[in-house]
Structure 1
Amino acid sequence: MLRLSRQLDYGKPAPDFCLPDVEGHLRSLGDYAESPALLVAFICNHCPFVLHVLDEFIAFSREYQPKGLQVVAISSNWPDDFPEDDYPHMQKLAAEKDFPFPYLHDETQDVALAYNAICTPDFFLYDRERLLYYAGQFDASRPQINRPPVPGLPPLRTDLPVTGEDMRRAADALLAGDAAPQPQHPSAGCSIKWRPGKDPSWG
């Protein structure tokens, strides 16, 4: 099901986390305290919206991490319906793509709930004080998928190249000490696949 990011709580502190990465090491928010900017991205292995931007997202991460942006990716999907989202497949994808960022497994989905994540991909960019600065799309490009139009939503722009334009603009402004760019357009993607009984009212 198509979802749009919720774009809530600008200025709210980043919730803490302690999650295993694909190498089995526990990673927490405090591990990245020295970085002047932090991007937390909720992704997964199977989602066509994630796969559509993944190579450019990896390139963006390689380009911006030397500038001071720490990127952390988290997968929170319950894998019953999509086994390719399980932990072993996360390890495989991270190795195949040589992820330049930690890829964390949110098995309990508590971290996704704390961040108000709703879709994949869902992006949360934080400033040096770890206050929410940007929560929007990577760019306006969308994959070609078979779905009926959603009433009230614009058509997916499948004709646009993946550039990371919106995220680059936000990261550049943050690292330069400028105000967050406006407007911030929501990210679009597949709904997070919640555990039975875990899905929130807004999920």
Structure 2
Amino acid sequence: MAEVQSTFSLRRGDAAPGFQLPDPSGKLHELHELRGISGLLVVFACNHCPYVIHLADALGALSAEIESEGVMTIAISSNDIEKYPADAPEHMSTFAAEHGWNFPYLFDENQEVAKAYGAACTPDFFLFDHELRLYYAGQFDSSRPKSGQTPSGDDLRAAVKSMLAGEEPPARPYPSSGCNIKWKAGSEPPYFR
């Protein structure tokens, strides 16, 4: 699978696009109900991508760490499940449990939420402040599958720390890298073509 880098449509300070998405049980979740008192981390992910699998455990640990600071986490899968059935909702709960994801893992069947955020790859990270304004969009850390590096979440952790301290975000964060979102035929966003 080719590594792609995210192309963001959201800019620093932009409001998080609202949504209502189901979890694997069918329960609907709305954006405003998911944020923490200090912010929200939105992660576009899936079950089969080696880039997601590479950092899944570290993401589970980091999400617990930042939750204690009032920053909640959610993950959203937007892949075409007809072509990639391993990413279907019936497998999402198992994947989340295996990697310590104690946060909502939602399914974006029509892929409109991924498009609204400008998500391009899995994983793709968007950190919003307490007002749900974009603070950071960039990589988890510099590790990659087969790199020999253990995922640490250093880049994202530093962004959360800066946000909570009221500091300026990184001027030029390194973009997220991973597998492209598996768009449904004819549904590809302009930034993917």
TM class by shorter chain equals over 0.9
Q: Are the equivalent residues in 2 in contact too, given 1:22–1:102 (CA < 8 A)? A: no
2:110 to 105, 108, 111: 108
Q: How far apart, in 1, do the equivalents of 2:93 and 2:26 lie?
A: 10
Between stretches 110-119 and 33-42, larger displacement belongs to 33-42
For the 8 Å contact 2:57–2:100, the answer to whether it is kept is no
Q: What is the CA distance between 1:22 and its match in structure 2?
A: 2.4
How much has 1:98 moved relative to structure 2?
Answer: 4.1
1:141-190: CA deviation from partner (whole Å, max 9, x where unpaired)? 0002xxxxxxxxxxxxx133211000000001111211112330011000
| 8 Å contact kept, 1:77–1:193 | yes
Q: 1:86 aligns with which of 81, 85, 88?
A: 88
C-alpha separation in 1, matches of 2:53 and 2:105:
15
| 3-state SS of paired residue (2:184) | coil
Aligned to 2:133: 131
Q: Is the 8 A contact 1:14 1:130 kept in 2?
A: yes
Work out whether residues 41 and 73 of structure 2, in 8 Å CA contact, stay in contact via their aligned partners in 1: yes
Tell whether 2:40 aligns with 1:38: yes
Of 69, 75, 78, the residue aligned with 1:76 is 78
Contact 1:20–1:104 (8 Å) recurs in 2: yes
CA contact (8 A) 2:129 2:163 kept: yes
CA distance, structure 1, for counterparts of residue 155 and residue 99 of structure 2 = 23
Distance 2:52 2:35 in 1: 27
Q: Paired residue for 1:12, among 14, 18, 22?
A: 14
Q: What letter is aligned with 1:86?
A: A
Aligned residues: 190
Provide the aligned C-alpha RMSD in A: 1.4
The one-letter amino acid paired with 1:3 is: V
Residue 195 in structure 1 maps to residue 184 in structure 2: yes
SS in 1 for 2:158: helix
In the other structure, the counterpart of 2:30 is 28
Change (3 A) 1:71 1:33: closer
Letter in 2 for 1:132: L
Percentage of pairs with the same residue: 46
- TM-score under structure 2 length normalisation: 0.93
Letter in 2 for 1:80: E
Give yes or no for contact 1:170–1:180 (8 Å, CA) kept in 2: yes
Counterpart of 1:91 in 2: which secondary structure? helix
Decide which structure has the larger Cα Rg and report it. 1
After TM superposition, the runs of 4+ consecutive aligned structure 1 residues lying more than 6 A away are: none
Partner SS state of residue 95, structure 2: helix
**How far apart, CA to CA, are the structure 1 residues paired with 2:35 and 2:72?**
10
Give the 3 Å change call, closer, same or farther, for CA 10–107 of structure 1 in structure 2: same
TM-score with structure 1 setting the length: 0.89
TM-superposition CA deviations, 1:102-122 (whole Å, max 9, x none): 000000101001000000000
Structure 2: segments with no counterpart, 5+ residues: none
